[in-house]
Amino acid sequence: MTPDQIARAAGALARARRESVRFDALPEDCQIPDMSAGYAVQDALHEALGIPVAGYKIGCTTAVMQKFLKIDQPCGGGIQATDIFSSPATLPHNQYRRVGVECEIATRLGRDLLPSDAPFTRDTVADAVSACIPAIEIVDDRYVDYPSLNAATLIADDFFGAGCVLGPARSDWQALDLPTTNAAMRVNGAEVGTGTGMQVMGHPFEALAWLANTLSQRGCGLRKDQIVLTGSIVETQWVGAGDTVTVVVDGLGEAEVRFT
């Protein structure tokens, strides 16, 4: 894609978000051919929105989500600073097109992970994690027909990302065995899915290392205090007005959001 095509694709996505309308398709001459181009448009979208990126989400890091979305590899997206909330949170249901929730183990970084330090491994990123956090990722199906869009276009639009609700931060996460840590999600008190940290690429920090390496290939890095959502342990749940969602991660605590 040319710089002009990237800018126009990002502009189309930004307009759909600002106007709170469902996104249909990009102009014919601005189609996003591959994931590399998708991330270039994503960077341009963040610039067009003008809101600081305070963290990242990683989608399709678990078999359940790869099957659900029919995408066989992880996909990253930014999280804007205005879309990070503390638990318990209350959010208006009508500010989303079709809102969904996901069950996550999030990390907060205690130092930068810069391209000059790549390649990263699970162990090297672990040294940069200052806290692990139970989290609800908020996703938004902003599209007329998302199955008709390729993965690169979804990546360009932050891969459904619409924010997160964070529970308590645990700085002594080393006391936990994250792969065997159990997590569960409830909607209105009824359990809708369970799993363990092992489902996230074998270890949540494998997802974090993947993101750091992917960003480094674009000359970008992760920054101190940024939040990273490592991927949903259970399948996305679509929720309605009045629903209350709770995620519980053993040893970390819980996060809660109510949609009004």
245: CATH = 3.90.850.10
CA–CA–CA angle 19, 25, 28 (5° rounding): 125
Distances (CA, A) of 1 to 31, 154, 235: 8, 16, 33
pLDDT-derived band at 67 (thresholds 50, 70, 90) equals confident
Number of domains in the chain: 1
In a domain, 172, yes or no: yes
Q: Which domain holds residue 71?
A: 55-259
Average pLDDT, the chain: 95
Residue 153 is assigned to a structural domain of this protein: yes
Q: Can you read off the two tokens belonging to residue 147?
A: 């199955």
CB 36 within 8 A of CB 204: no
Task: Look at residue 46 and tell me if it is in a domain.
Answer: no
Determine, yes or no, domain membership for 21.
Answer: no
140/101 Cα distance (integer angstroms)? 9
In a domain, 89, yes or no: yes
Residue 35 in domain: no
Decide if 104 is inside a domain. Answer: yes
pTM for this entry: 0.95
**Euclidean distance between CA atoms 147 and 95, whole angstroms:** 22
Residue 68: pLDDT band (50, 70, 90) is confident
Q: Specify if 112 maps to a domain.
A: yes
